[in-house]
Structure 1
Amino acid sequence: MAAGESAGAEARRQFALALAHDRAAADARAAAGRFEIAEITERRTARNLASLSGVGHFLLADRRWPGTKHAQIDLVVVGPGGVFIVDTKAWAEVSIDGGRVHRGEADVTDELLALADLTAVTQAELAEVGLAPGEVRPFVVLAGRRGIDATVQGVRIVGEREVLNCITAYGRRLTDTQVDAVLARALVLFPQTTAPAPVVATVPEPVVPAAPVPGPMVRVGRASAPPEVMEQDALLSPEEVNDALLRGVLVSPIEEWMSFLHPQQAKLVRRTFQGPSRIRGAAGTGKTVVGLHRAAHLARTTGGRVLVTSYVKTLPQVLQAMLARMAPDVVDRVEFVGVNAFASRLLNDRGVDCRPNRKGSGQAFAAAWQRTGVDSILGQGPRDQRYWDEEIQCVLKGRGITRFEQYADLNRTGRRHRLALNGRQAVWALYEAYEAELRARRIHDFADQILLAEAELVREPLRGVYSAVIVDEAQDLSCAMIRMLHSLVGDEPDGFTLIGDGQQSIYPGGYTLAEAGLSVAGRGVVLDINYRNTAQIVSFAQGLVTGDEYADIDGAIGPGDVPASIPRRGPEPVIERGPGWGRINAAMIERIRTVTKEIGTGLGDVAVLCITRQSASDATAVLRRAGIPVVDLEAYSGTPVDAVKVGTIKRAKGLEFKQVLIPDIRQHQTSGQPPADDADHERWDLTRRELYVAMTRARDGLWVGIRGVG
């Protein structure tokens, strides 16, 4: 080794070591600066939200990220407004455009994904105590910024001055007991952070550079100072805090079921199905509630549009009003429309001529009956023309049958009367005569509307418009309706959800899922806890359908589901009997006046449900003469109104009321002996199921008026 060579090598090693230490120090200073900023900004966010503790919220600061040792969450807020996961970012030059977040030129949208993932984990964990998924909300707070409120990847991004207003705007969604249950679970899920990791001062042995070419000495510079702390006027004034809290207090509390479910329900809302699925259960088990929450959940997680539909034309607008209160953040991505209205809109958009005319189609059938049915085997039997009208509408056109061979050996689901070959031939002749009458009048019936829409979707599919379709009261739809709706999403995971209870089918005929070309094998769920009714109401209603067997859409024939548990108890239903309607009407008025004197029950909590439209019209007139305000169920949109709701039982499907009155029951409709004739037996079954539906709309009290003569 040449003289001085070893000394030079050691000198180079020491210079390299010094440079490594300088770099490590610079990195440490930069990290310290970032943590210092984070400390300041996170503390400011916490101070802005501290006032929430005075209105029932709990602020869990510096909590550990579930499943990690050191990753931490700035703040978790648990309170009457739900659960808020808050992450503060000291980001400068932030822009949000087209669903992407940029810091200067850099796209930082993916940095939000971890927070979105944490939200999903939290939703799953808190579902175990019954918290609805939508009540867990992730927030990114931009330190020192104002006037920002956007949602990206399911994460709401707000300015530092807006976060308090945003959280208080949710109002009161959980009761004190529910907050306690959620808080207890959250404390376990988000443990306190441990002590910070120890400082390690050892620098790895550096790589020694080769001997330098002689030249000027290079001086190692110092690291730049930490960035300036964000603007200092971000804290809210006492007046601003008070205004935000007052606005939150003034937000009306929402119904408990909108935010807090049974854990069985909450987990079902988030469950993933690898194809079409079905949710069923007896009346009062929360099927529609789960469907609403599931619609909101799918809208959030898929980012697509969700269609919620039903045969009852007034139900979708009521459900939309409920979702607007329950999940205002996604209501614009959930479309509520009746199945016939959907078909009508599709045909109009496609320029397809379809003019359904209820009165005209009735006249067309009457003409066909006189020309073809009266003198046939159909007109000579005990069944009236209404029965054969139903046969054509529900059995033939409800399935879209176009050839006699399809009808000749069809299993007529839901029809008790056995029909031999000559009877089916007579029905087919009547069907052809009816179709000819419609064409001659240049009109359609409502079954045509569905069949034309289905054909349009075969010709030009509408795939990609909806990420999911949810069908409420699915047992009331026709086979063609189910096929049409299923075609919108096919067998995509979580794409098609059927909700309903076969025992609540109140229309003649029926269908099976196999006929509609879909299967829910392994993807069916039964809800078995009645959350709505009292045990006394359920027992009374069940007495009407005891022993009733029906053909379910899964193809099985058997008795209806019975709740495994009915936690609520209350007074026995009241029965008013009379020889005429005068006495029953007087008792109905007295009942309404009595129940509305009870604390917590207003006129808007009462419904008068009738079997026929004429009875509903008569009841409306009786109540108005007595000075009681009334709203027609057909005009009810779900917005609270201080008036008794009156309408047919069919219009009340899917709804619930604190008090229900049914004033137009006849004695023979409640007797225990069914008619001997199978067709009459079928109609008797349908009427009793309809009364069962009406009775199970009642949450707290039920009153029935029975005329004592047949």
Structure 2
Amino acid sequence: MSTPSADDPLSRERAHLTSSRSALRAMREDVESLDIRDVTANWVNAEVLARQIDDRIKALADLSDTPLFFGRLDYLHAPGAEQAEGAEGEQFYIGRRHVHDGDGDPMVIDWRAPVSQPFYRASKKDPMDVGLRRRFGYTGGDLTAYEDEHLSDPAETARTSKLLQQEIERPRVGPMRDIVATIQPEQDEIVRSGLGGTVCVQGGPGTGKTAVGLHRVAYLLYAHRERLARTGTLVIGPNRSFLNYIEQVLPALGELTVRQATVDDLVGQVEIRGTDDATAAVVKGDARMAEVLRRALYSHVTLPTEPVVVVRGSRRWRVPAYELETIVSELLARDMRYGAAREALPQRVAHAVLVQMERSGEAPDDRVQDAVARNTAVKAAVKEIWPLVDPAKLVLRLLAEADFLAAHAAGILTEEEQKAILWAKPARSVRAAKWSLADAVLIDEATDLTQRTHSLGHVVLDEAQDLSPMQYRAVGRRCTTGSATVLGDLAQGTTPWATRSWDEALTHLGKSDGVVEELTAGFRVPTDVITYASRLLPHIAPGLTPVASVRENPGFFDLRPVTGTDEVVAACTELLGNEGSTGLIAADARIPVLAEALTAAGLGYLAPGEETTRQTRLTLVPASLAKGLEYDYVVLDEPRAVVDGEPDERTGLRRLYVALTRAVSGLIVTHAAPLPDQLADSPTDLLTGSPTG
């Protein structure tokens, strides 16, 4: 690795950085100076164009502490001229966005461009026509070092990049950062996979699966900008704290239009004021409920027993009951959505009337058919045969009326399962009902049975292992005509209905042809920490490949018996002496006690999702909200309490596995109670450690 001196290339690279920043500023100023007063036809177009210009200005922002480029590629030959003798290769600087000079010549190439791919994929074994790959080191926004790999030089052996390791292990303060400078070949392959296919990424702690999913969205928006601008993209996370943590990644890459939500946000048609016990939640989340809902909905359709008589002028046109029955049976056989079939029914009846008119010598047109479809007699018949059904009222009736549920769950749910989901105190109205989150998903399913849910072009689903089959169906409805990126870790499933296999999950999502990829190289969790946490894998996810840490810095790991909260606070104070963020993770029931102890000691702290600052770097994290978050240093309080805080031991051990693997640089486990048996046989060389060494 090279450092500044009078005769090395660093000064030239700094000059290119300065020129690139000036060029980016000029690009931004060009957009800011646009005058659109005379180029729009109306105020609506003006508003749309003004918003697009504003987004473009934001995308061209030069973040002072974010490197404009992080690498350089020197190609051996000009593109397409590999065989041309003497063809001179080009030099490209790789960065977060495209920057060009006043003549339009590129000064920085977007990392997503095809010409940038060898920065992530090229190797000594396959240099991809790259002679030199240069990585840059930064302190804040200042270029301070560079490192070269001569990929096509047989005399130079492959070696681990020091700058790459430093970037991976750099302390984290604030929200999640992008990993655009450190994407590994196996991650890049997933990032650049096509829009047409669904990809499921199984990745243990620290393997970068969340970052891979977010960077895949950024790549797809680059490669399919126009299509995704029409169809839309969505990132789904497990909770609001997680979304707050990741919300800056895509804007840092210049992507400002990707919506972020939780599954609960998507299905939020009713106010959530109730909760389910685990048994009821499991049944309500079971995919079989979809068929129960379908049966209940279509039970409202009744075959006609009376004819429809349409009066037009002096003529009366009669559609007999048997013909109406044929029309209804045909609509049912087509497996149309309930609402679409209901809308088609009056048109079918009107068509039957028009056939009679034509047979009698009349020549009716489409206007006549529409008029007949709106006829009072036809409308009355449709209301009787195929009535409107409110999805929330349908679910309310299923959960409140034992006979109605039994009629439509027969042969699907057992009597015990039906009893588990019936409300003890039935609500009288949708507004008065104490809906649970699982109920909201049922209403969403019923709504989709009535009318098609809008489909997006691409959906990223993170921490997917915690979704129920019905929740997968809710997400799948949002990308029926698009694709998905599913991210998760089977070992971190902490709900009673946690995913058992990705094949099963993809089936519920409606993407059974999705490809499952596995990431097993750990870049964020220290070796000693992941080794210790992996002791739980045989008990929580038998057969799952443990994460293998590739960190050069092993970090530290320390088990500390304590007698009270004062020692827990002392451990936090000790870790805050290091650079970076610190998380105190504990069982949810222990949070009030620890909050009081921190306040008494004068230690300020944040809640999960709040942005850490140089002044406040400690976050107090309930174990139930720790998933997906990471901190440079972690104090894990009372592992036994984390396990006991869950309804069963296996779920508790999975929650503990999550909590143990949130640390990037070091972990202190404090405990007054005995450790869980699955961890009690810790090797003696892991019992002590030093946060500073």
TM-score bracket, normalised by the shorter chain, equals 0.5 to 0.7
- Distance between the aligned counterparts of 1:397 and 1:311, measured in 2? 16
After superposition, the C-alpha distances for 1:342-362 in whole angstroms (9 at most, x for unaligned) are 322xx4xxxxxx1210xxx25
Q: Indicate which of 158, 181, 205 corresponds to 1:283.
A: 205
Map of 1:126 onto structure 2: 119
User: Which residue of structure 2 lines up, in the alignment, with residue 66 of structure 1?
Assistant: 79
Superposed counterparts of 1:109-508, under 5 Å: 120-128=113-121, 172=141, 176-177=145-146, 180-181=148-149, 257-272=179-194, 274-303=196-225, 304=228, 305-325=232-252, 327=253, 329-330=254-255, 332-344=256-268, 347=269, 354-357=270-273, 361-362=274-275, 389-397=277-285, 399=287, 401=289, 424-434=414-424, 436-437=426-427, 441-463=432-454, 466-490=456-480, 492=482, 495-508=483-496
C-alpha distance 506-62 of structure 1, shift in aligned 2 (>3 A): closer
Aligned residue in 2 for 1:662: 636
Distance 1:117 1:422 in 2: 53
What is the distance in 2 between the residues matched to 1:285 and 1:400? Answer: 34
Give the direction of change, closer, same or farther, for the CA distance of 1:701–1:514 in structure 2 (3 Å limit).
closer
Flag structure 2 segments of 5+ consecutive residues without an equivalent.
Answer: 1-14, 24-67, 124-137, 155-173, 296-410, 676-693
CA offsets 1:158-178 (integer angstroms, 9 cap, x no match): xxxxxxxxxxx997498845x
In 1, Cα distance between equivalents of 2:142 and 2:185: 17
Change (3 A) 1:390 1:624: same
What amino acid does structure 1 have at the position aligned with 2:510? L
Which residue of structure 1 aligns with residue 34 of structure 2? none
Cα 1:687–1:78 change in 2 (3 A) is same
2:656 to 666, 673, 691: 691
Residues 549, 65 of structure 1: alpha-carbon distance in 2 compared, 3 angstrom cutoff: same
The offset of 1:48, in angstroms, is 8.6
> Once the 2 structures are TM-superposed, how far is the Cα of residue 565 of structure 1 from its aligned partner?
4.6
Per the alignment, do residues 314 and 668 of structure 1 end up closer, same or farther by CA in structure 2, a change over 3 Å counting? closer
Cα displacement string for residues 230-277 of structure 1 (whole angstroms, at most 9, x for unaligned residues) = xxxxxxxxxxxxxxxxxxxxxx99958343222211232112264322
Kindly indicate whether the alpha-carbon contact (under 8 Å) linking 1:506 and 1:687 is maintained by their aligned counterparts in 2: yes
Range with bigger deviation, 301-310 or 469-478: 301-310
Q: CA deviation at 1:665?
A: 3.0
2:597 maps to which residue? Answer: 622
- Which residue of structure 2 aligns with residue 37 of structure 1? none
In the other structure, the counterpart of 2:617 is 643
1:548 aligns with one of 536, 539, 546: 539
TM-score (normalizing by structure 1): 0.55
Equivalent residues of 1:282, 1:501 under 8 A apart: yes
Judge conservation of contact 1:404–1:428 (CA < 8 Å) in 2: no
Give distance in 2, aligned partners of 1:290 and 1:566.
Answer: 17
Is the partner of 1:433 in helix, strand or coil? coil
TM-score (norm 2): 0.57
Q: Are residues 497 and 56 of structure 1, via their aligned partners in 2, closer, same or farther at CA, if it must alter by over 3 Å?
A: closer
Which amino acid in the other structure matches residue 566 of structure 2?
Answer: A
Q: Deviations over 1:294-325 (max 9, x none)?
A: 12112222222321112223211221123333
Distance 1:56-1:121 versus aligned 2 partners, 3 A rule = closer
2:176·2:249 contact (CA, 8 Å) conserved in 1?
no
1:425-466 deviation per Cα after TM superposition (whole angstroms, max 9, x unaligned): 2331242234835858433111122222333345443445x3
Which amino acid in the other structure matches residue 422 of structure 2? E
Contact 1:504–1:689 (CA under 8 A) maintained in structure 2: yes
Flag the structure with more relative contact order, 1 or 2, with Cα contacts below 8 A and sequence separation at least 6. 2
Specify the code of the residue in structure 2 equivalent to 1:396: K
Distance (Å, rounded) in 2 between the aligned partners of 1:508 and 1:253 = 30
Q: Which amino acid aligns with 2:656?
A: L
Partner secondary structure for residue 574 of structure 2: helix
Using the TM superposition, give the Cα deviation of residue 484 of structure 1 relative to its aligned residue in structure 2, in angstroms. 1.6
Task: Tell whether the 8 Å contact from 2:587 to 2:642 is kept in structure 1 after alignment.
Answer: no
Give the Cα–Cα distance (whole angstroms) in 2 for the partners of residues 76 and 452 of structure 1.
56
Deviations 1:553-593 (A, max 9, x none): xxxxx433312454344355222224xxxx33121122122
The 1:255/1:308 distance shift into structure 2, 3 A limit, reads closer
Structure 1 residue runs without a partner (length 5+): 1-44, 92-111, 131-168, 189-251, 348-353, 366-388, 408-420, 551-557, 671-679
**1:537 matched to 2:529:** yes
Higher-Rg structure is: 1
- Report if the CA contact (8 A) 1:317-1:337 is conserved: no
Checking the alignment, whether the CA contact within 8 Å between 1:656 and 1:698 is kept in structure 2 is yes
Please say if residues 292 and 323 of structure 1, whose CA atoms lie closer than 8 Å, have aligned partners that are also in contact: yes
Q: Deviations over 1:91-127 (max 9, x none)?
A: 9xxxxxxxxxxxxxxxxxxxx9xx9999732132222
1:653 aligned residue: 627
Deviation at 1:648, TM superposition (A): 1.1
643-652 vs 424-433, which deviates more? 424-433
2:572 aligned with 1:592? yes
| 1:630, distance to aligned residue in structure 2 (A) | 0.7
Give per-residue Cα distances to partners, 1:264-292, cap 9 Å, x unaligned.
11232112264322001221111111112
* Partner Cα separation in structure 1 for residue 73 and residue 239 of structure 2: 46
Task: Name the amino acid aligned to 2:281.
Answer: Q
Residue 78 (str. 1) matches residue 46 (str. 2): no
